[in-house]
Amino acid sequence: MPDAATTVERGELLLELNQVSKYFGGVRALHDVDLELYRGEVVALVGDNGAGKSTLVKVISGVEHPDSGALRVRGEAVRLETPRAAQSAGIHTVYQDLSLCDNLDAVRNLFLGQEITGGFLRGRPVSRHRMEQQARDVLDSLAVKVRSLNTPVGGLSGGQRQGIAICRALISDPSMVLLDEPTAALGVSQRAEVLDLILRLKSQNRGVLVISHDLKDVQEVADRVVVMRLGSKVAEFGRGEYTSSDLIAAITGAHEAPRSPESN
Amino acid sequence: MSTHKAPAPTTAGEQSTPLLSRLVEGLSGRYRSIPVLFVLGLIWLYFYSRNSAYLTSTNITNLSLQIVTTAILALGIVFVLLVGEIDLSSALLSGVCATVTAQLAIKSDWPLWMAILGGVATGLVFVLAEVLAIIFGVPSLIVTLGGMVILQGLLLVVLPPEFVINIGGTDFAKISSTYIPSGWAFVIAGVGWLLFCAARFRAHRERGAAADSSALVSVGVPAVLCGVVVFGAVAVLGEGRGLPLPVLILVAMLLIASYATSRTRYGTHLYAVGGNREAAQRAGIPVSRMVIYSFLVLGACAAVAGIIEASRLLAVSNSSGGGPLMLNAIAAAVVGGASLFGGRGTVWAALLGALVIGSINNGVQLLGLSTEVQSFATGGVLILAVAIDVVITRGSLLPNRR
Ligand SMILES: Nc1ncnc2c1ncn2[C@@H]1O[C@H](COP(=O)(O)OP(=O)(O)OP(=O)(O)O)[C@@H](O)[C@H]1O
Ligand SMILES: [Mg+2]
């Protein structure tokens, strides 16, 4: 395998997908997809629009259920029925469209749905000071800078918002973080910020799966690139094993076209 | 208003923001009530300068009684606005609930508390029916518009054939005519104020080293401000006949609502649902349940408001809950700072807005101006308040979305 040459040492195998397929009516969104995610690596998922990247992420994060195939988390077969189940399996997802509440401040957004609260009899008061401390820790750990924890996030920049969205995934200290197009709609410097965040997630020894359309981003951060086309995984490259044109060819199917019937 | 657009882009990425845009941001967010208080002050000054009877303790007692119904109804509406819905039926619902209570208490001779529970239950059942339709997917504007028409019919059904129940001289009437003597009012206010200071102090101490302001700023200043307002109000009302019971009920409801919305997990979820339903859903918040809760609060508020209003007017009739009450309550909520677009504003908006609307109405009547002026003023203030709301929510302060 060419893989072994480049990968110096791999961490624990966190996630394993085996022959996962998903149909939406007649549309084959995923077809026999195999995928692995190791601790401390960044895997990029690329492919054209409608290639099935988001569907794959949704299957892993418990939003959609595969029609066939198996998922293993740390070697154990799991069925991720709900997003909650995926979260307790250590998988956290940051969605394409952020999922922040603009009218709430950073702390409330970070803890949304998982607030630290007091007793039932007092109406579950939130422990603001404890949440603020943890929020600071998490934001600092990824070096996300926000002007104030107490102002609504609606007024923050796209990069800061993406930072908060990613930090939000870290509140429960997950081992895997999935990011669906985290750099879409961001300016140059803010994109660099988010790429930094991804590398920091990696250095915290988590497994990171990131969808991106930007091949430059991908080349910058990814240890492995998985290429999808029309619901199938068509290629996988280790770091430094490919050129941009290899990627483009795999994404569009330019060179593969004659071979695709047998390779699928 | 487009002049505010200029400083907005700088808010986006930079760490140091110009003072002006920070000021605007503060006034539209945490300190949203300051401009409202300013307007209220102007209104009081204007009417006082025209007629010095405006700020006598008698008139202030009157004003406080006049606004209670609007404020309690507006409080319910704030809850509904917070989750991004609207309501047009609660004023008439208050009339129906009051009528049910009057029927039970006077015609059927139930004990007053049971009759009140009957009225509140009526309110809860009706809003539950409405909110189920809303969760099913019918827009709340339509559901509550339909509900309003249904309630007009329902009011005639629950009223006796002569369309009026007089409640003068009964226990029911005492709700609004009970005054707490000045001494007791001061005791209640004192206990409330001490609890407020204790809560502030505790919050400050919990923050410990992380606190970004000294004890003086985070405990002392609010304590003094709160003390001035509370004891001042009690002193002024005490000079008249004492603290009216309905005002005490209103304040108690506001305090409970304020705690629930600003300090508890329930409150955070309420704002989240109003701010971004999709995000709330993904975060595991039971969105439909939060909407149901809000409407149930509205139903209870409508019942209480209706009962107090009936007791003040000494009767229920086919005009109960009609007239400008609905518009006044919605206007109060929005003028006070609750956003029509959901997720913004505090429960105190109900009180502030009702004070603004009530002060205008009271002043216009005192000056003997025609009711047209009152209508013009209330309608104008409502539209102005919504315009400000639009600028705050959709305008310059949120550069990332339009
Ligand atoms: N809920 C759904 N119902 C029906 N079809 C769906 C659904 N979700 C996805 N699909 C289909 O599945 C295919 C893969 O979609 P997916 O969103 O995974 O693509 P993608 O790779 O994320 O594309 P993009 O780059 O545009 O985000 C598409 O053909 C899409 O139309
Ligand atoms: Mg997608």
**CA A187 – CA B276 distance, rounded (Å):** 24
Which residues, in sequence order, are CB contacts of A98 under 8 Å at separation 6+? A161, A162, A165, B279
**Is residue B84 very low, low, confident or very high in pLDDT (cuts 50, 70, 90)?**
very high
**CA A89 – CA A40 distance, rounded (Å):** 17
**CA B215 – CA B203 distance, rounded (Å):** 10
Q: Inspect the interface and report whether the beta carbons of B203 and A145 lie closer than 8 Å.
A: no
Q: Is residue B248 part of a domain?
A: yes
**CA B80 – CA B368 distance, rounded (Å):** 36
Give the number of the atom of ligand 1 that is nearest the alpha carbon of residue A48. Answer: 25
Residue of A21, A23, A27 best suited for mutating to test ligand 1, as the one with most atoms within 8 Å of CB:
A27
**Is residue B213 very low, low, confident or very high in pLDDT (cuts 50, 70, 90)?**
low
Domain boundaries along the sequence of chain A: 13-252
Q: Beta-carbon neighbour count of residue A193 at 10 Å?
A: 22
Tell me if A16 sits within 8 A of A23, measured CB to CB: no
Q: Look at A217-226, B278-287, B325-334, B355-364 and tell me which has the smallest mean pLDDT.
A: B278-287
Residue whose entry in the numeric block shows the structure tokens 């882009």: B9
How confident is the model at residue B357, as a pLDDT?
92
How confident is the model at residue A262, as a pLDDT?
43
Shortest-distance Cα residue to atom 3 of ligand 1: A24
The boundaries of the domain holding residue B335 are: 33-181+242-392
- How confident is the model over B8-31, as pLDDT tens digits? 333 334 444 567 767 776 776 777
CA-angle at B23, arms to B22 and B28, nearest 5°: 100
State whether the Cα torsion B127-B128-B129-B135 is positive or negative.
positive
Q: Which helix (H) or strand (E) holds B244?
A: strand B243-244
Beta bridge partners of A93: A178
Residue whose entry in the numeric block shows the structure tokens 């799991």: A78
Which amino acid is residue B332, in one-letter code? A
Mean pLDDT of B346-365: 93
Shortest-distance Cα residue to atom 31 of ligand 1: A50
Res. B6: pLDDT tops 80: no
Mean pLDDT of B108-137: 95
Q: Inspect the interface and report whether the beta carbons of A102 and B276 lie closer than 8 Å.
A: yes
**CA B391 – CA B306 distance, rounded (Å):** 34
Q: Is residue B48 part of a domain?
A: yes
- Whether chain A has a CB inside 8 Å of the CB on B271: the answer is yes
- Whether chain A has a CB inside 8 Å of the CB on B51: the answer is no
Strands (E), chain A: 13-24, 27-38, 42-47, 68-73, 76-78, 91-94, 176-180, 207-211, 224-229, 232-238
Q: What are A78's two structure tokens?
A: 């799991």
Q: Is residue B28 part of a domain?
A: no
**Better-scored residue on pLDDT, A253 or B144:** B144
CATH superfamily for domain A13-252:
P-loop containing nucleotide triphosphate hydrolases (3.40.50.300)
Q: What is the pLDDT along chain A (264 residues), one digit of tens a residue?
A: 444 444 456 778 889 999 999 999 888 899 999 999 999 999 999 999 889 998 999 899 888 889 999 999 998 888 888 877 888 889 988 886 667 898 899 999 999 888 888 878 777 888 888 888 889 988 888 788 887 888 888 888 878 888 888 888 888 888 999 998 888 777 787 788 888 889 988 998 899 999 988 888 888 899 999 999 998 999 888 888 888 888 888 888 875 544 444 444
Q: Is residue B321 part of a domain?
A: yes
Q: Inspect the interface and report whether the beta carbons of A124 and B266 lie closer than 8 Å.
A: yes
Q: What are B255's two structure tokens?
A: 């305090």
Distance of CA A64 to the CA centre of its chain: 15
Q: Is residue B234 part of a domain?
A: no
Residue of A20, A21, A23, A24 best suited for mutating to test ligand 1, as the one with most atoms within 8 Å of CB:
A24
Ramachandran category for residue A77: left, alpha or beta (phi over 0 → left; psi -120 to 50 → alpha): beta
Give the number of the atom of ligand 1 that is nearest the alpha carbon of residue A228. Answer: 21
Mean pLDDT of B240-250: 91
- The pTM is what? 0.84
Mean pLDDT of B96-108: 94
CATH number for the domain spanning B250: value is: 1.10.3470
Paired sense of beta strands A76-78 and A42-47, if any: unpaired
Distance of CA B312 to the CA centre of its chain: 19
How confident is the model at residue B396, as a pLDDT?
47
User: Which residues in chain A are closer than 8 Å to B259, comparing Cβ atoms?
Assistant: 123
How confident is the model at residue B17, as a pLDDT?
58
- Whether chain A has a CB inside 8 Å of the CB on B119: the answer is no
- How confident is the model over B272-307, as pLDDT tens digits? 999 999 888 878 888 999 999 999 999 999 999 999
**CA B360 – CA B374 distance, rounded (Å):** 7
User: Which residues in chain A are closer than 8 Å to B29, comparing Cβ atoms?
Assistant: 151-152
Q: What is the DSSP string of B299-363?
A: HHHHHHHHHHHHHHHTEEETTTT-TTHHHHHHHHHHHHT--TTSS---THHHHHHHHHHHHHHHH
* Chain B residue at shortest CA distance from A62: B282
Give the CA distances from residue A96 to residues A104, A166, A184, A186, in Å, rounded to whole numbers and listed in that order.
Answer: 19, 11, 8, 12
How confident is the model at residue B296, as a pLDDT?
97
